[in-house]
Amino acid sequence: MHRPDPTTPLDETIEALSDLVRQGKVRYIGMSNHYAWQMCEALWTADRRNLTPVACGQQLYNIVNRDIELEQLPFCQAHGVGMMVYSPLARGVLTGKYLPNQALPEGSRAARGDSRIQQTEMRDESLDVAQKLKPLADRHGKPLSQFALNWILANPIITSVIVGPRTLEQYEDNLGCLGWKIDDEALDEIDRLVPPGEHTGWGFNDPITPVLGRPKD
């Protein structure tokens, strides 16, 4: 389930997906861009009706977007649900190629007018944090891209990271995040720049997961 469908009862969706699992057409059920309470409701539905439970979630997660640390990751840990995360490099912001108050790099996602990077990542605060992270990555002898990926993989609640290289060079660079650790001093500095469970930028909220706790109507 890529995102919530407000027009379809969750029971129907879980039942349909469970049928696909029983038929051997699907191996596991996952939920992307859902809240922790919606994942919990899916688990309750499956348990109550003897259906296939959700095995994994998929959410936005990177150094400048740490919101899922507040509820979703603890929920997954407590209930044995895996978590795959996407946009680990903040759609390129955490490579350091986007500079504050500078022209966008030619051929980059932002320069191509990609709507999702405009919605979620092109915040001045994130660009500033990326530049402040670079010296930490340099101290480890790693490019910022590898540093940012390593930071995610060091979280024991994370099951897997979805990377999105466009070229073989980018793919090979991504693999360099493996086999080493960020030191405690750098981890503390990351927490100072973007505290656990927080994100950069005042008022930022991913439109895929809107704030629902204060309806206007």
- Indicate whether 186 belongs to any domain: yes
Phi, psi for 77 (deg, rounded to 5): -65, -40
DSSP E strands, the chain: 29-32, 54-60, 82-86, 160-161
Is the separation of the CB atoms in 57 and 84 below 8 Å?
Answer: yes
- Indicate whether 182 belongs to any domain: yes
- Indicate whether 212 belongs to any domain: no
Domain that holds residue 154: 90-158+165-193
What CA dihedral angle connects 56, 57, 61 and 65, to 10 degrees?
-150
- What pTM value is reported for the model? 0.93
The total domain count for the chain is 1
- The separation between CA 74 and the C-alpha centre of its own chain, rounded to angstroms, equals 15
Phi-psi group of 30: left, alpha or beta (phi > 0 → left; psi -120 to 50 → alpha; rest → beta) = beta
- Indicate whether 27 belongs to any domain: no
Buried b (16+ CB within 10 A) or exposed e, 171-184: eebbeebeeeebee
The closest of 159, 183, 166 to 89, measured between CA atoms, is 166
| CA separation for the pair 200, 128 (Å, rounded) | 10
Task: Report the 10 Å Cβ neighbour count for 110.
Answer: 17
Regions of the chain short of the pLDDT cut 50: none
Res 169: pLDDT = 94
- Indicate whether 64 belongs to any domain: no
Q: How far is CA 106 from CA 11, 109, 112, 128, 163, in A?
A: 47, 9, 8, 20, 21
- Indicate whether 105 belongs to any domain: yes
- Indicate whether 107 belongs to any domain: yes
Contacts of 177 (CB under 8 A, 6+ apart): 142, 145, 146, 147, 149, 150, 153
- Indicate whether 108 belongs to any domain: yes
Token pair in block for residue 189: 């500095």
| CA separation for the pair 167, 70 (Å, rounded) | 34
Greatest CA span in the chain, whole angstroms?
Answer: 56
Residue keyed to tokens 């649900």: 81
Res 90: pLDDT = 95
| CA separation for the pair 142, 176 (Å, rounded) | 8
Res 43: pLDDT = 97
